Structure formats: structure tokens, C-alpha cells
Amino acid sequence: LRDRCLGPVAEPHPSGRMSAEGGPAAAGDTVIHRHLLRGYWEDTDAGGIVYFANYLKFAERARTEALLARGIRQTELRERVGIVFAVREVSARYLRSARLEDQLCVTTRVEAARGARLVLRQDIWREETCLAETRVVLACLGRDGRPVRVPAEVRSALAPSG
């Protein structure tokens, strides 16, 4: 059974407990954030159907909000630690169409946080219907543009409690 937009969101685990695989405990099973949005004219084609590339924009906004909700400010990480996150890989499966004025919800789960990678599962919902499933691999890059380990503070903030 998949999580919908209603229901609890996991709090960060106080110890930053990670699984043996390097990801948060119960990786991929726990929704860490839900982001509500609506389909506007700017998101749709002439028929009022949300354009496929906009699902990726929705996921990007939700990722930023998920990090902020966990106390991770990307601007601060760039200035203080010298790291940024860049999309290395993205895949999307489109299941149903979103339409003009639909109330949508993007759920975010952490599948893995190890080495220089964060792997997130982000699904886009309309009520009880999953419209799109996305998987995003983020690379953690240092000032020189080379991969660096995801900081422990970020891994800890993304680890669910429980």
C-alpha cells in the first residue's frame, strides 16, 4: 500500500541512524515530506493537460521543500561547506494525466544516502491516484565540481525516526 498525501511524515531520527546499506533506516519506505501544489495554465497544454516535463519541475520544487523542512539549506551548504547537489540521473513513469486546477501532492522518500549520492523516490498524486513515479539520483559535488561524500549532517537530517 502506497502512502497518499494524507498521513504522517517521518521526523528525522535524533541519532541519524542509518541502515547497513548506508541509507536511512527503512530506506524508501518512509515518506519524509509531502508537497502540495496545483496545476495552473502555465503548466498545461492547450487542452488543460499538464505537460510531461512539468512533473520534473514539481519534483524539483518538492525536493527543495523537503530539504528545507529537514533543516537543510542548500545555499548555506554551498557557502559554509562548499557543496552543491546536481541531478545525475532521473527517471519518470507517467501513469495518468494531471489537469488544470488539479490539487496535486508530491511525496518524497529517501532510497539511499551513501557516498556522494542521494537517491530519492518522488511520486506525484491526485487524491488516491498516483499520476507519476520518479526516481532522482543527486550527486554531491565540491567546489571543484568533483564528487564528495554527502555530509553526515545531511544524512542524519534525512534519516527517519522509528
Q: What is the pLDDT of residues 80-96, one digit of tens each?
A: 999 999 999 999 999 99
Q: What is the pLDDT of residues 55-113, one digit of tens each?
A: 999 999 999 999 999 999 999 999 999 999 999 999 999 999 999 999 999 999 999 99
Q: What pLDDT does 31 receive?
A: 87
Grid cell locating 27:
530506506
Give dist(CA 146, CA 156) in Å, integer: 22
Q: What pLDDT does 17 receive?
A: 35
DSSP 56: H
DSSP 79: I
**If residue 59 lies in a helix (H) or strand (E), which one and from where to where?**
helix 54-69
- In the block, which residue shows the cell 488543460? 48
Q: Helix (H, G, I), strand (E, B), or coil: what is residue 129?
A: strand
What percent of the chain stands above pLDDT 90? 77
Grid cell locating 162:
522509528
Q: What is the pLDDT of residues 3-41, one digit of tens each?
A: 456 555 555 434 333 333 333 334 456 888 999 999 999
Give dist(CA 62, CA 60) in Å, integer: 5
Residues with active-site annotation: 45
Q: In terms of Cα–Cα distance, which of 139, 138, 133 is closest to 121?
A: 133
Give dist(CA 162, CA 144) in Å, integer: 37
> What's this model's pTM, rounded to 2 decimal places?
0.81
Query: Over the chain, what is the mean pLDDT?
Result: 86
Cβ–Cβ under 8 Å, residues 83 and 131: no
CA angle 27, 52, 69 (to 5 degrees): 40
Cβ–Cβ under 8 Å, residues 87 and 39: no
